[in-house]
C-alpha cells in the first residue's frame, strides 16, 4: 500500500554509499569516515576523490586530481561575457545557476550518449563543473564591483584559488585553511533537497549540467542553503548582545523561525557545528571583534534552554564566512562550491544503477462527474 509522507519525510528514496546522516546520534559519515576524522585532517580535494572513487587518494592520485581540476578552471569566453553583462544587483546564485547551465552549450565533447554510465568522460565533466563553480562565483562578485577578473592560477588549491580570485591576491594560509575545512564539512550530506533534486534530474538521463543547475536552484532557497545568509541578517537586526533576550522572546512569541537553530534530521547537535564554532571563535579573535560570537552564543544558549534546540551548521558557518570578508549574498554560492563535490558524486552514483524517480501523489480534488458548462453560461 502506498505511503503518504508530506515532504517525503521518513521515506527512503534510494541507497547510497556516499554519506550517512545519523540524526539520532549526531553523526555524519563520508564513505565510512566520521566527519571528525576528516575535518582538519584531509583537504577538500581528498574528499572530492573520496566521494567520486570511494577511497582517499594516494599522493600521486591527489596530484593528478589537482592538475585535472586546475586544467578545467578556464571559463568559455561566452560565459565570461555573460558574467560581465549580468545585472550588478543580481542574486549571485542566479548568476551561478545560469553560468553552469551555459557551460553545457560549450561542451565540445557533448552528445546524446555522453552521460552513459560507462562513459569515460563522466569524471572529466564532474571535474570541469567542480573547478568552474568557484570561478563563476568569484568573477561575478568582482565584475559587479567593476573590478578586473584575475587570470586563472593553476598552482593553487581550490580554497586558495577561490579566495585569490575574490581578492586578486594570494590569500593567507589561515584563511585558505579555514575555507578548506568549510568545504570538507559541506561536501555532502545524505539525501538533502538539492542532492535529491540533482538525482531526480539526472535519473531522466539528461546531462550533468542540467542536474547541477537543478541542484543550485534548490540550494538557493532560504529553507536550504540560503539559511546561513539569514543568520548574519538576524545578528545585524539584533545589533547588540544586550538586545538578544528581548529580541528572542518577541520573535518566539510571534512564532517566527530563528535562523540557524534546529535541524530537520539531527535530533542532537549537528556534528559539523563544533568545528565551525571553533573556527568562528578563532576568526573573531584574530579580527579583534567578538561581538558576533557573543551574540551567537547567547542565542544558542537560550534556544537550547527554551526550546531544546541546538545550533546547526548554518549558525556558525555564517560567522566564519563573514569573518573571511565574504558579503552575505556570497555565503550560499560558497556552500554550492563545496556541495558540488557531493552533487556530482551522487549524479555518478545514480547513473551507475539508474531508475527514473516517479513517485505517486494523493489526489484530493473534486470527485469525478463534473460537467463542462458552455462558456457563455459560466459565471
Q: Which residues are catalytic?
A: 263, 314
Distance (Å, whole) CA 141 – CA 24: 39
Number of alpha helices (DSSP H) and beta strands (DSSP E) in the chain: 16, 3
Q: Give residues with Cβ within 8 angstroms of 357, minimum separation 6.
A: 13, 199, 200, 203
In this structure, are residues 259 and 231 in contact, taking their beta carbons and an 8 Å threshold?
yes
Element (H, E) at 22: strand 19-22
Task: Provide the angle, in degrees to the nearest 10, between the axes of the packed helices 208-219 and 92-103.
Answer: 170
Measured CA distances, 165 to 129, 333, 337, 341 (Å): 17, 14, 14, 20
| Bridge partners, residue 22, by sequence | 27
Give the cell for residue 10: 521518513
In this structure, are residues 58 and 65 in contact, taking their beta carbons and an 8 Å threshold?
no
| Bridge partners, residue 19, by sequence | 30
Q: Which residues of 92-116 are buried (b: 16+ CB within 10 A; e: fewer)?
A: bbebbbbbbbbbbeebeeeeeeebe
Edge-to-edge order in the sheet of strand 27-30 = 19-22, 27-30, 33-34
Q: Report the SS3 class of residue 21.
A: strand
Q: Map 237-249 to HEC letters.
A: HHCCHHHHHHHHH
Give the cell for residue 287: 579580527
Query: Minimal CA–CA distance to 201: which of 210, 188, 190?
Result: 210
Amino acid at each position: 500500500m502506498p505511503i503518504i509522507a508530506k515532504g517525503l519525510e521518513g521515506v527512503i528514496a534510494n541507497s547510497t554509499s556516499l554519506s550517512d546522516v545519523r540524526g539520532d546520534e549526531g553523526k555524519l559519515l563520508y564513505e565510512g569516515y566520521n566527519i571528525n576524522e576528516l575535518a582538519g585532517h584531509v583537504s577538500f580535494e581528498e574528499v572530492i576523490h573520496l566521494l567520486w572513487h570511494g577511497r582517499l587518494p594516494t599522493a600521486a592520485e591527489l596530484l593528478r586530481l589537482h592538475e585535472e581540476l586546475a586544467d578545467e578552471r578556464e571559463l568559455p569566453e561566452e560565459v565570461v561575457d555573460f558574467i560581465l553583462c549580468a545585472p550588478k544587483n543580481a542574486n549571485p546564485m542566479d548568476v551561478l545557476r545560469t553560468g553552469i547551465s551555459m557551460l553545457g552549450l560549450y561542451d565540445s565533447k557533448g552528445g546524446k550518449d555522453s552521460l552513459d554510465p560507462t562513459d569515460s568522460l563522466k569524471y572529466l565533466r564532474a571535474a570541469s563543473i567542480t573547478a568552474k563553480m568557484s570561478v563563476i562565483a568569484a568573477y561575478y562578485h568582482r565584475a559587479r564591483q567593476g573590478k578586473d577578473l584575475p587570470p586563472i592560477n593553476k598552482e593553487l588549491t581550490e580554497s586558495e584559488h577561490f579566495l585569490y580570485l575574490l581578492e586578486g591576491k594570494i590569500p593567507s594560509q589561515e584563511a585558505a585553511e579555514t575555507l578548506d575545512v568549510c568545504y570538507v564539512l559541506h561536501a555532502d550530506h545524505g539525501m538533502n533537497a538539492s542532492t535529491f533534486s540533482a538525482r531526480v534530474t539526472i535519473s531522466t538521463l539528461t546531462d550533468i549540467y542540467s542536474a547541477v543547475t537543478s541542484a543550485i536552484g534548490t540550494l538557493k532557497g532560504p529553507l536550504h542553503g540560503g539559511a546561513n545568509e539569514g543568520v548574519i541578517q538576524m545578528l545585524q537586526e539584533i545589533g547588540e548582545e544586550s538586545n538578544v533576550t528581548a529580541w528572542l522572546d518577541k520573535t518566539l512569541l510571534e512564532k517566527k523561525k530563528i535562523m540557524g537553530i534546529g535541524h530537520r534530521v539531527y535530533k542532537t547537535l549537528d556534528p559539523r557545528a563544533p568545528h565551525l564554532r571553533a573556527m568562528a571563535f578563532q576568526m573573531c579573535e584574530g579580527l579583534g571583534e567578538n561581538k558576533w560570537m557573543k551574540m551567537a552564543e547567547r542565542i544558542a544558549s537560550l534556544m537550547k534552554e527554551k526550546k531544546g534546540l541546538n545550533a546547526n551548521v548554518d549558525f556558525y558557518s555564517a560567522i566564519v564566512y563573514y569573518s573571511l570578508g565574504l558579503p552575505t549574498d556570497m555565503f550560499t554560492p560558497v556552500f554550492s562550491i563545496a556541495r558540488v563535490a557531493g552533487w556530482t558524486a551522487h549524479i555518478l552514483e545514480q547513473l551507475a544503477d539508474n531508475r527514473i524517480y516517479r513517485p505517486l501523489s494523493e489526489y484530493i480534488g473534486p470527485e469525478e462527474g463534473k460537467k463542462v458548462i458552455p462558456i457563455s453560461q459560466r459565471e
